[in-house]
Amino acid sequence: MSILETVIEIPNEHAQNVFGQFDAHAKKIERTLHVSLIPRESGVKIIGEPVQADRARKVLEELTELSKRGNTIQEQNVNYALSLAMENMSGELVEIDKELICHTLMGKPIKPKTLGQKKYVDAIRNQMIVFGLGPAGTGKTYLAMAMAITAFKNNEVGRIILTRPAIEAGEKLGFLPG
């Protein structure tokens, strides 16, 4: 078993965001990928098996890029970056982050957060009718409404029509209850 040592540069102004409070993100990466992360003056040294060390490097580079784009790195970002790295799909997280739908009234950007959400938004953008199926709480209605509002603001549609869902007596629905 060979061990790889590599050093990547993480600018000081992004290190705290990338590593997380009390290095929580760094510890999560170490535990998941079985590597050691050793902070250095202007970056981090990664020690581990070559495949795992390379995955850790890609995860840290993606998180650094997200931080440079002004995002606050959350545990969800770290978990998703790790799962993409395990599937050899590194680089997708930054691509997903480039997709901006619109801003809330408070100025917060609305963007897809997963590959599935990005595909859903792309389908809404490119198809006349899209059926969004999936578990509750995955952002289907939220993203669809953001896309509808964006289309309305861009004069792509003349109006938005919300209808009451057909439900059985006593049945409960999600975001748009009957």
CATH of domain 1-98: 3.30.1370.10
- The confidence score (pLDDT) of residue 178 equals 45
- The confidence score (pLDDT) of residue 75 equals 95
Nearest alpha carbon to residue 63 among 32, 27, 90, 40: 90
| Strand spans (E) along the chain | 4-9, 36-40, 43-48, 102-103, 109-110
List the chain domain ranges.
1-98, 99-178
Both tokens assigned to 91: 């680089």
Dist CA 63 CA 66 (whole Å): 5
Query: pLDDT for 10-48, tens place per residue?
Result: 999 999 999 999 999 999 999 999 999 999 888 899 999
Nearest alpha carbon to residue 69 among 28, 97, 36, 29: 97
Query: Which residues of the chain, if any, have pLDDT below 70?
Result: 165, 167-178
Largest CA distance in the chain: 64
Are 67 and 14 a contacting pair, CB within 8 Å?
yes
How does strand 4-9 pair with strand 43-48? Answer: antiparallel
Dist CA 127 CA 70 (whole Å): 31
Distance of CA 56 to the CA centre of its chain: 17
